[in-house]
Chain A
Amino acid sequence: MTLADVLPEASPTPSGGVPTSLPPLLDEHAKREIRRTILTAVAVPGYQVPFGSREMPVARGWGSGGLQVTLAVVGSGDTVKVIDQGDDAGVNAVNLRRLITASTGANESTVPEESTIIQSRHRIPEDELRSDHIVVLQVPVPEPLRGVERDQRELARMHAEADYAKMWVSLYEDKVRNGVITQTTGYPCLVDGRYVIATTPIPRWDIPRLHQAPFLTLFGAGREKRIYAVPPHTDVEPLTFTDVPFEVERTPGATCATCGSDRSFLVEVPAATGSRWVCSDSDWCRRRQKAQGHD
């Protein structure tokens, strides 16, 4: 008996073993339930709406929440871009993109301008996004107060009464202990002057881009079974002391080693001969290089 007998689908196929068509991952009832949840989330900006998170063919914690949100809003006329840490070619991004396109018939692209839905872990693309874009963020921990309070009833009370004193205390303690506010990803923000959200998983760099953005941002947490939203043209204000300005990550003098950019979110790549900085948004960087003439 050969491996091909046991696992016939594992044998090489013209598409490299990847099925190009899959049955739908969500049934129509599930889609409707998630869409209703999304509508509630949009109507109450920043409020975490519970939903019946389904089993997905990815592990919880690997984007199952974002995947369900995308599957509920995508249509066959949509074009989907999926990034992981700003990279379209990451294993997880590729896997999710294949699942979405193969099961819905949607098109795929790596360029935001050609896309209608952008599912992301850890970044918002550097490009200016339009009002017809939907950004879907995969969220590991939707509760911004989880670090300061564990009692679920107390958490519900704090949100209901907009009692965020403990969140401020955690920022105070961070500053006292470290001299600066060290919290980077998941920085707590006040949405529409009412609810504090965890902007996980994006870095501080992307937070100003959520404020009064023209596009809709949907946050999906599959393991925690919560969906929340920042509708277009909504205030997103990082919790900041009046005398300690909010700062985004920036390394003075650092520029992208491949495209030369000094106005994008850069990540450090360790190398044998000292580390170098490159754009975190790899597709944006690639298009800049192309425009500069070196392919």
Chain B
Amino acid sequence: MTEPNRPDWMLKVEGLGKIHGAPDRRSLHDTGPEHGTSKSRLTGSVVAAWNVSFEVAAGEALGVIGESGSGKSTVMRCIAGDQPATAGSVRLARVGDGATEILDLEPAARRRLRVDELAVVYQDPAEGLDLRVTAGGNVAERLTAAGWRHFGDIRSRASELLSRTEVPLERMDDLVATYSGGMRQRVQLAKALANRPPIVLLDEPTTGLDASVAAGVLDLIRNLLEELGLAAVVVSHDFRVIEMLTTRCIVMHHGRVVESGLTDQLLEDPHHPYSQRLVAAARS
């Protein structure tokens, strides 16, 4: 009997695809960057994302960049389980030693993964938080979902997380609805990291924040990723965010991956015309 070997990645995505409307594969023939659209004239379906593949190792952050409508958030939502995927495979190293097909799990089992395997930080804090609950209560929800039943332990773990994400502890018992945007995002981070998940998906985590606040939150995210050795997928339209947080990235356009590589190289020497336009826009 041989011990099953843990793969060297934490998250592996293969051939992930999402078609809105009839899942007719003929839609693939007249969509994508070369056709300049993700909506098929043949079938009327929208190919939001197709044939997206990547691996992320522990301690590594992968960027997914593209303009709005390019399918990058769809990819994230299919991995997270917020949307059902049309095709492809998603596996996590810690679930069935990387052999379990996450997309085939029942909805309840997929939601359980969100408790301590796969955390998500949304652009809009209202998606990841209950605004009618205190900051501490939001973190407590994730802890109680993981079976924590000791009030003192929950309280001290919530304080620890909130101070780590730089939320003033004197505001820990205030409703999140009374927080500013930047503070809400910090609470969302604390909640996402509550049960030490090995993988975190960040969807435009600083979009919509003031430039100075965004810089602070970005700094925090970078430190957390490094310190906790997380495997991260960072979805953003902003090359500055991708540059600061990730070492590798993929560029998406009209639902397809048009280029992938090391973030530094891609920024220095983009090959695909669309990547060149994106970089030019970021550098201007």
Q: Which residues of A contact B (CB under 8 A)?
A: 160-161, 163-166, 168-169, 172-173, 175-177, 241-244
Given A160-B108, A161-B108, A161-B111: A175 in contact with B151 (beta carbons within 8 A): yes
- Chain A contacts of B140 at CB under 8 A? 168-169, 172
Q: Is B223 an interface residue (CB 8 A)?
A: no
What total count of A-B pairs have CB within 8 Å? Answer: 51
Q: B101 on the interface (CB 8 Å rule)?
A: no
Interface digits, B126-141 against A, CB 8 Å rule (1 contact, 0 not)?
A: 0000100110111011
Question: Chain A residues with Cβ under 8 A from B265's Cβ?
Answer: none
Decide yes or no: A169 and B151 within 8 Å by CB, A161-B108, A161-B111 being known contacts: no
Interface of B is mostly: helix
Q: Decide if B137 touches A176 in the complex (CB within 8 Å).
A: yes
Residues of A within 8 A of B137 (CB): 169, 172-173, 176
23 A/B residue pairs, CB under 8 Å, sorted by A: A161-B108, A165-B144, A166-B130, A169-B133, A169-B137, A169-B140, A169-B141, A172-B136, A172-B137, A172-B140, A172-B144, A172-B154, A173-B134, A173-B137, A175-B151, A176-B134, A176-B136, A176-B155, A241-B150, A241-B151, A242-B151, A243-B150, A243-B153
Q: Which 7 A-B pairs rank lowest in CB-CB distance, beginning with the nearest?
A: A168-B144, A165-B145, A241-B151, A172-B140, A161-B108, A165-B144, A169-B141
CA distance A30 to B105 in the complex (A): 42
Contacts of A244 in B (CB 8 A): 151
Q: Are the C-beta atoms of A242 and B173 separated by less than 8 Å? A: no
Interface positions of B (Cβ within 8 A of A): 108, 111, 130, 133-134, 136-138, 140-142, 144-145, 149-155, 173
In the complex, chain A residues whose CB is within 8 Å of the CB of B111: 161, 163
Q: In the complex the two chains form, what is the Cα distance from A243 to B152 in whole Å?
A: 7
Q: Report the separation of the CA atoms of residues A43 and B145 in the bound assembly, to the nearest whole angstrom.
A: 27
Neighbouring A residues of B133 by C-beta, 8 Å: 169, 173
Tell me how far the C-beta of B53 lies from the nearest C-beta in chain A, rounded to whole angstroms.
Answer: 31
- Name the distance in Å between A145's Cβ and chain B's nearest Cβ: 13
Chain B residues whose C-beta falls within 8 Å of the C-beta of A242 in the assembled complex? 149-151
Provide the residues of chain B in CB contact with A176, threshold 8 Å.
134, 136-137, 155, 173
CA distance A169 to B158 in the complex (A): 12
Decide: A169 and B144 in contact? CB cutoff 8 A.
yes
State the Cβ distance, A179 to closest chain B Cβ, in Å: 11
Most B CB within 10 A of own CB, among A175, A177, A242: A242
